[in-house]
Amino acid sequence: MTASGTVLVLAGRFDPTADLVVEELNRRAVPVFRTDVADFPLRLALAARLGGRAGGSGGTGEGGDATGKAWSGTLRTGRRTLDLRDVRSVYYRRPARPRFPGGMSPDARRVAEREARRGFGGLLAALPVRWLPPPGRAADAEYKPLQLRVAAESGLSVPRTLITNDPGAAREFGEEAGGRVVFKPFTPVRGTVGGRSAAVYTSIVGPGELGHPDVATTAHLFQEWVPKAYEVRLTAVGGRLFAAEIHAGSPAGHVDWRSDYDSHRYRLCEPPADVAAGVRRMMDTLGLPYGAFDFVVTPEGRWCFLEVNPSGQFGFVEQATGLPITAAVADWLEGKGM
């Protein structure tokens, strides 16, 4: 990572979380080059070279490198050009997939997308700079089975969990858990039903549902219900932790706070020392510089890990509490204190 230079932001065009970070970097006069992977190849041109001689006929050429040991070149939009040698860090915030000409055949599109991922994406991954988060590490960390194992190994409390496509096993698990079981999708499920947007949130399932034949159609995640006093969103940036209590004000929000943001009350809090240590161990194991952690806090005060999102939103917490999360992310991208 260079001590100065440009922060490359890879994010969708309409992303309020990325907007917060870009605005903070602009306020600090840190150069930013923002684009989306979806801009490639129609609105984003790439030219990069490796190797070549220093000096001599033609020098190193456009984007040449005097040592011949590093990729150099440019990313170019219709308005701006980024010298790859000038990149100090990359903020990878849920970019969209590449878009190709509409007239391409399905087979050609599949080949082009694969080549873009390995060529364009591979080149960016080869830059010797810091990523928040590293795409490969983030992709691995999104697997809930891995998260839960690493959380338990890191000393965090984890609810009893079953992954199955066996209705009989699900029914037996429900009996062991005393009949209070929740179902969670492995990935966010959103779509349109009857012309209206809809999403699948965590839901409480009864004994009859656990034995339903539909359980056999795919993998399902069931967990014991953990009694809640409130929940906590803990955002980790490097070694810095920012925690806020979330007190849901509706029955739906009490089961899954994401289903009813408008009902919440927020309050600053400090994680217990053992929880803070477990979070940091988990971040080290997963190789993540950033994570949005969700915890349930029981009436007895026990913190129970639910999940971590390696690229989760933080703007709603910062707006409600004043926690300086955007500044911490900008510090990390800028290289302050690192």
Report if pTM > 0.85: yes
Q: Please, what's the largest Cα pairwise distance for the chain?
A: 78
Which residues make up the CATH 3.40.50 domain(s) of the chain? 6-132
Which single residue is written with the structure tokens 């194992």?
149
**String of DSSP letters for 136-190:** HHHHHHT-HHHHHHHHHHTT-B---EEEES-HHHHHHHHHHTTT-EEEE-SS-EE
Return the number of other C-beta atoms located less than 10 Å from residue 1's C-beta.
Answer: 14
Measured distance CA(152)–CA(305) in Å, rounded: 9
Q: Which residues of the chain have pLDDT under 50?
A: 1, 54-63
Identify whether the C-beta of residue 181 lies closer than 8 Å to the C-beta of residue 171.
no
Task: Give per-residue pLDDT as tens, 183-221.
Answer: 888 887 666 656 666 566 778 888 778 888 999 999 999
Per-residue pLDDT at 192: 61
Q: Which residues contact 4 (CB under 8 A, 6 or more apart)?
A: 88
Per-residue pLDDT at 212: 87
> How deeply is 180 buried, as exposed, middle or buried, from its count of CB atoms within 10 A (0-12, 13-18, 19+)?
middle
Per-residue pLDDT at 61: 46
Which residues make up the CATH 3.30.1490.20 domain(s) of the chain? 160-224
Per-residue pLDDT at 55: 42
Task: Give per-residue pLDDT as tens, 70-95.
Answer: 899 999 999 999 999 999 999 999 99
> How far does CA 136 lie from the centroid of its chain?
11
Per-residue pLDDT at 263: 74
**String of DSSP letters for 239-294:** TEEEEEEEE--SHHHHH-GGG-GGG-EEEEE---HHHHHHHHHHHHHHT-SEEEEE
Q: Which has the closest alpha carbon to 234: 252, 247, 246, 250?
A: 246
Measured distance CA(235)–CA(128) in Å, rounded: 26
6-132 is a CATH 3.40.720 domain? no
Per-residue pLDDT at 51: 82
Q: What is the DSSP letter of 114?
A: H
160-224 is a CATH 3.30.565.10 domain? no
The fold of 227-334 is D-amino Acid Aminotransferase; Chain A, domain 1 (3.30.470)
Which residues make up the CATH 3.30.470.20 domain(s) of the chain? 227-334
Per-residue pLDDT at 262: 73
Per-residue pLDDT at 178: 84
Identify whether the C-beta of residue 192 lies closer than 8 Å to the C-beta of residue 337.
no
